[in-house]
A and B are shown apart, each in its own frame.
Chain A
Amino acid sequence: GNSVTQMEGPVTLSEEAFLTINCTYTATGYPSLFWYVQYPGEGLQLLLKATKADDKGSNKGFEATYRKETTSFHLEKGSVQVSDSAVYFCALRAAGGGNKLTFGTGTQLKVEL
């Protein structure tokens, strides 16, 4: 079946540091890939997505590139801010559409001054 594996947290960084949160997946064909962010006390929000190989999703300074050869969708940001502190979830939706999202376990990011 489909699965998503992401690095365990928490990840603690200083403000303006470079961020990488690793995400790899197992799925047949070409799934759509997503990163969701959950700020404290709020629901998950779509951060970015990519629907085909080599696509790069980007939003709010975050980027992730769909790498079919390594089945990865790592999240990166060049300079994090305290306001980026949240839990980040990698997810996939199977090729062929459908409703089901398969999530990773989430990675908590803490950014300190």
Chain B
Amino acid sequence: GAVVSQHPSWVICKSGTSVKIECRSLDFQATTMFWYRQFPKQSLMLMATSNEGSKATYEQGVEKDKFLINHASLTLSTLTVTSAHPEDSSFYICSARSGVSTDTQYFGPGTRLTVL
């Protein structure tokens, strides 16, 4: 099946710094990528949807200036957490869709962010 990777798998940073997380589709072109956030023992919450070459669409309550999403190519999307604070500590998961089927999203393994 299709493979989606994320880098880094975990990151620890100081409060006030920015962190970039990459999401790559390794063997297919992803017309759409999704970014989720997962708190411990809670469900995945969709943060934003990005289509290659256009601005991301953010879900209600997600600060677009805080969570910058770039989908510059058909195989790469990045999420930058700007001026991170401890409350941004979470598990961030991306998924990618090839556009062939609206039901098929391929998920990355996630990135654990800890802000000190």
Contact = CB atoms under 8 A, between A and B. Distances in A.
A, B bound: yes
Interface of A: 4, 32, 34, 36, 38, 41-46, 49, 51, 89, 93, 97, 99-106
5 contacts: A43-B110, A44-B95, A51-B103, A99-B49, A103-B45
Nearest to B9: A41
A93 B108 CA distance: 19
A32, A51, A100, A101 — most chain B CB neighbours (10 Å):
A101
Contacts of B44: 44, 89, 101, 103
Nearest to A106: B43
Contacts of B71: none
A103 B43 contact: yes
A70 B5 CA distance: 37
Nearest to A46: B104
How big is chain B's contact interface, by range? 20 to 34
Contacts of B42: 105
Contacts of B43: 4, 89, 102-106
B106 interface: yes
The 3 closest A-B pairs by CB, nearest first: A43-B107, A44-B107, A103-B43
B54 interface: no
B48 to A, nearest CB: 10
Nearest to A3: B43
Interface in B79-110: 93, 95, 97, 102-110
